[in-house]
Structure 1
Amino acid sequence: MGIVQVQVETQEDQQKPTIYANIATINRLNLPINQPISLKFGKIITEVKVTLSSNSGNLMRIPSDLATQLHIPNGTLLNAKFDKEKGLLLGPIFGILVQSVNPKQPQTPFGKLTEFFKEVALLARNQGILFYIFTIQDIYHGSQTIQGWFYRNNQWEVGIFPLPDVIYNRISSRSQERKFKAKIAELQKQIPFFNEHFLNKWQVYEMLKKTSIHQFMPETTYFKGNQSLKEMIKKYPIVYLKPTNGALGKGIIKIERSPEQYIVQYSRINGASTFYFKNLNKLLKHLYPRLQSEPYLIQEGLNLIQLNRRPIDFRILVQKNGRGHWSITSMIARIANDQQFVSNLARGGTQAGVMATIRQASPELSKTIKKEHFRKLALQIAKKLEESTSGHFAELGIDLGLDNDGKIWLLEVNSKPSKTEETTLAGPRPSVHRLIQYVRFLTGFPERVKGSRRK
C-alpha cells in the first residue's frame, strides 16, 4: 500500500472509465494495468481501469465523465491507495456539520467560524483531503451525495459531493442539535461522527464523580428547589448557579454570603449586575423566576487565585492526535475583565500565558506549580470522560482553576470549544493541524507530513 497525491483534470470523454498514471505512480501504488478494478470515493463505488501514461510527477489524470460521476471538483488534490480486495481508494473526504449557512454574506457565510473553517480548508487541500461544510438540509436523502460549501480560489463555492468519510459536528445551538437528533443518528450509523453532541454540566459531574477525578471537583448539586440552595449557601460563603446547558458564561449567577447581607451577581455581556439582600428569603424570591426558566446546578465557590482581584481560570484544549490518542494542543490562562466574575473570552476576558499569569498572581505558587500538572490532569479528565460516556469525542475544552493553596480544580468540560479567538499565526492554528491529523487517522490515510505544533 502506498500514498500518492492525485490531481483531477478535465479530459475529453472516454469510451471506458480510464485513469492515467505514470509508471512511478503505478509501481508506488502497486496498481494493475489495463485490468478492471474497483474505485471508491466516499460512498460512491465504480469500476475503472488504469492505463500507463507519460504524466510527470505523482499525477493521476481522471477523465471528466468519471470525475463528474464521482463528484470530484476539477483540479482537486487527493490521496490514493490500492488494496487488492478494496480496490483503489481516493480521499479522504472530510465534512463539518453546521446548523446554517448565510449565502448573503459570501465573505463570512459561517459567521464567526468562517476564519477557522478557512484554515481547515487550506490545510486539508494541502494534504490531499476533500473538505466541505454542510447542513442537515443539504443531504440528498436516498442518494450518496451532499450539497456542500468548499473553499477554492479564495472564495466559498457550492458543489455536490459524496457523503464524507468522517464528520465533525460544529452545530452551535443545543436546540438545533436536538431538532436534528434523529437525522444525526442516521448519519452516525454509516459514517464516523465525532463531537456528536453538547455536554450537559450535570451529567458530566455525575459521570466523573464516580471516577478518580472526583477529588478535583468542587461539590456540586442539582437545583431541586429552595431547600437545596439554602443548604449550599449555609455550607459555603460563595456558591455559583450554572445552567446545566449553558455556555460562554451565559446565565451564571454568583451568590456571596456575609454576616450582614447576601450579594447576588449576574454575568452580563457588558458587565456583572449586582443586587443586595438583607435576608435569605428575599434573595430566594428574587431568584425564583430565573431558576424556574431552565435547569440549574449549584456549585461550591472556590478560593481561586486572582490577578488584581480579577478571577483566573485555565483553558486546556485536548484533542485526539494522528494515533487516536488524547493529547494537549494548547493551554492558556483566561483573566476576567474588571467588570466580570467569569473569565470567558466571550464576556470580555483576556488570555495570557499560563506560567506568566501564575507568577503575577501568586509568585509563591509559581515555585511549585508547573504546566505539567495541568497537562496531566486534563488528559486524565479526557480519558475518564471518554470511558464514562458512549459518545465519540475528539476535542474537549477543559477549564481548570488553581486555588490559593496550590490545588488544581476541574471547573467545566466543553465539547464545542470556541474557535472564534483571534490568531496571529502565519498558518493554520495548532488545533487545525491536530484536527486534520485525527481525520487522517480515522479514515486510514496516514499523515503525509507531520503537523506543526506551534504554540
Structure 2
Amino acid sequence: MKRTKVKIQVQHAGMYSDDRVIMLSDALVKQWKIPTNTTLALRFGSAKHEVKVVPIQQAGVLRINDSIAAKWGLSTGSSLCLQYKPTSRALHIGPLIGVMISRAYSGKPDRPFGAITTFCRELDEACKLYGAAVYYVTPDDLSGQGDTVKGWHYAGRWVKRAFPLPHVIYNRLTSRKLENRSNVQQFLRHAKTQYHSALFNEKYLNKTEVFDALRKENSLQIYLPESYLLKNLQTLKSMCTKYPTVFLKPITGSLGKGIIRIKRQADNSFTCHFTNLGGVRKQSYGNLSQMCAALSGKIKQQRYQIQQGLSLISVGDRPVDFRALVQRDEQGQWSITSIVARIAGSHHFVSNLARGGTLSTVKEALARSNSTASSGGAVKLRRAAIAIAKGIETQIQGHFAELGVDLALDMQGRVWLIEVNSKPSKDDNTQLTGENKLRPSVKQLIQYSRYVAKF
C-alpha cells in the first residue's frame, strides 16, 4: 500500500468535466503503477465513486470533478492523505474525522459550539497540517442508517452540509444522556458494522468501574486508595472508623460537584464539607451515628464512591493534585502529552478550575510545596499515568485514545490515583504559555486518527 499527501483541486469545467475522470500527478501514477486505462474506485469515508485516472504534470495534486466535491464536502486547497491499494484497485483519500459534539448554536455564527469552538478550529488547523478532514455533528443530526450525515465544517466560516460517514468518530458528547440516546447508539452501530468506522472515547467511565477494573492489575495496586461503591451505612461507618478523612464522590460526577469530605475530630465528632454551586457548606455532628443518620437520605438518592482520604502535599495550605493528559500517539502507543499541577482555591478542598483552582507547572508546584516528599515526584507521576492508561486499556472494554488521569502525591512521596476521565476538558489542559499555536494535544488527536484509519 502506497501513501502520500496531495492537494485537492476542484475541476469546474473544461475538457475533463466528466465526473468519472480524476487527474493525478504523473510522477505518482508512474511510481505507484496506477493503471490509467481502466476503472478504479475512489473512496472517501463511506463514499465510493468509480473513476479513471488521467496523469497531469502538476506535482502533488489530485483534481476531481465539482459534482463529486459537492457530494463529499471537498474544496480546492484541501490537503488529504492519498493511498493506493492495488489488490482492491482503489484510491483512498482521507482520513475523514467526524467529531460528535453536544450542541450547535445556529444563531451564533462566530461561536456555534460555545466554549469548544476554539478547540474545533484548532482541530481543523491540525487537519490541514497532517492531511485530514474534519466535521462536527450533534445528536440531533444522527440516524441509524444511510451513508451520509449532516455536519458542520469550517470554510472561512462555519457551514453545515452533508458528508460521507467518517473513517474515525471522536466522541466529545458531554453528557451520558446524549451519549445513550437511541439514535446516537444506532448511528454508531451502523458506522462501525457497515463502514468499519473507528470510534474512540466511546463512553464515559464512572469511578466505581475504574477502581474495580484497575484492582485486577496487581502492578497498579500501589496507586489505588481504598475505595468502594457505597452500598450501605455499615461501609460508611467502617471507613470513617478506619481513616481520619474519607471522601464521598458521586460516581458519575464531574467538576468537583457533589463531593462530601468527612473528617473525624480528636473528640470523635465529625465535620462534613459539602461542595455545591455556591462553594462549600460545613456541617458538624456530635458522633458517628448522628452523621450517618444525617447522610442516609443523600446516600439513598445518589450513588457514591467512598474513598480513603489522603494527606497530600500542599502549596500554602492548599492541596495540590495533578492532571496528566495521556494520549495514543502516531504509532498507537500511550504517551504523556502534558501534566499540569492544580492547586485548590482558598476555602476549597477540590482543585477543579471551576471551583477556584489554579494551574501551575509540575516543577513549580513541587518546588513551592517545600516538601521532601516531592523529590522525584515528576518521574513517578509520569510512570503512574502511563501504567494506569494501560490498565484501563486492558481491563475496560472500549476504545480510548485520550484519558485525563488525576493523580496526587502524599506527604510520604507516594503517588495515588484520584480518578480517570475519558472526556478530559480541553480547557483544563491548556498549555501554560500565552502563545497562539496548535496545542500538542490537538496535533496528537489527528496523528492518532491517521494511524487508526490506516492512513
TM-score of Structure 1 vs Structure 2, range by shorter chain: over 0.9
2:56 corresponds to which letter in structure 1?
S
CA drift at 1:427: 1.4
Counting matched residue pairs gives 442
Is the Cα–Cα contact under 8 Å of residues 8 and 77 in structure 2 kept in the other structure? Answer: yes
Separation of aligned partners in 1, 2:155 and 2:294: 54
Which residue in the other structure is 1:218 paired with? 225
CA drift at 1:69: 4.1
CA drift at 1:175: 1.8
Length-normalised TM-score, structure 2: 0.93
From 409, 416, 438, the equivalent of 1:428 is: 438
Separation of aligned partners in 1, 2:449 and 2:3: 18
Q: Which runs of 5+ in 1 are unaligned?
A: 446-455
Deviates more, 1:105-114 or 1:396-405: 105-114
Which residue in the other structure is 1:176 paired with? 178
Provide closer, same or farther for how the CA distance between residues 202 and 103 of structure 1 changes in structure 2, counting only shifts above 3 A.
Answer: same
Separation of aligned partners in 2, 1:74 and 1:139: 27
Moved over 6 A (4+): none
Is the Cα–Cα contact under 8 Å of residues 216 and 395 in structure 2 kept in the other structure? Answer: no
Provide closer, same or farther for how the CA distance between residues 191 and 269 of structure 1 changes in structure 2, counting only shifts above 3 A.
Answer: same
Q: Give runs of aligned pairs for residues 30-41 of structure 1, distance below 5 A.
A: 30-41=33-44
From 57, 65, 68, the equivalent of 2:67 is: 65
Separation of aligned partners in 2, 1:409 and 1:350: 20
Which residue in the other structure is 1:91 paired with? 94
Q: Secondary structure at the match of 1:379?
A: helix
2:387 corresponds to which letter in structure 1?
Q
Aligned: 1:353 with 2:364: no
Provide closer, same or farther for how the CA distance between residues 301 and 243 of structure 1 changes in structure 2, counting only shifts above 3 A.
Answer: same
Tell me the alpha carbon deviations over residues 88-118 of structure 1, each in whole angstroms, 9 at most, x when there is no partner: 1111101111222111222222121111111
Which residue in the other structure is 1:120 paired with? 123
Which residue in the other structure is 1:187 paired with? 191
Q: Secondary structure at the match of 1:62?
A: strand
Which residue in the other structure is 2:352 paired with? 344
From 384, 388, 393, the equivalent of 2:395 is: 388
Aligned: 1:314 with 2:322: yes
Separation of aligned partners in 2, 1:186 and 1:51: 35
Q: Secondary structure at the match of 1:272?
A: strand
Which residue in the other structure is 2:288 paired with? 280
Provide closer, same or farther for how the CA distance between residues 228 and 304 of structure 1 changes in structure 2, counting only shifts above 3 A.
Answer: same
Separation of aligned partners in 1, 2:34 and 2:372: 64
CA drift at 1:68: 3.0
Aligned: 1:202 with 2:204: no
CA drift at 1:281: 2.9
Provide closer, same or farther for how the CA distance between residues 237 and 363 of structure 1 changes in structure 2, counting only shifts above 3 A.
Answer: closer
Separation of aligned partners in 2, 1:425 and 1:93: 28
From 421, 427, 451, the equivalent of 1:441 is: 451
CA drift at 1:285: 3.0
CA drift at 1:214: 1.6
Deviates more, 1:181-190 or 1:270-279: 181-190
Is the Cα–Cα contact under 8 Å of residues 320 and 343 in structure 2 kept in the other structure? Answer: yes
CA drift at 1:430: 1.0
Q: Give runs of aligned pairs for residues 14-413 of structure 1, distance below 5 A.
A: 14-15=17-18, 17-54=20-57, 56-86=58-88, 87-139=90-142, 141-153=144-156, 155-180=157-182, 182-183=185-186, 184-189=188-193, 190-211=196-217, 212-260=219-267, 261-366=269-374, 368-413=375-420
Identity of aligned residues (%): 36
1:429 corresponds to which letter in structure 2?
R
CA drift at 1:28: 4.2
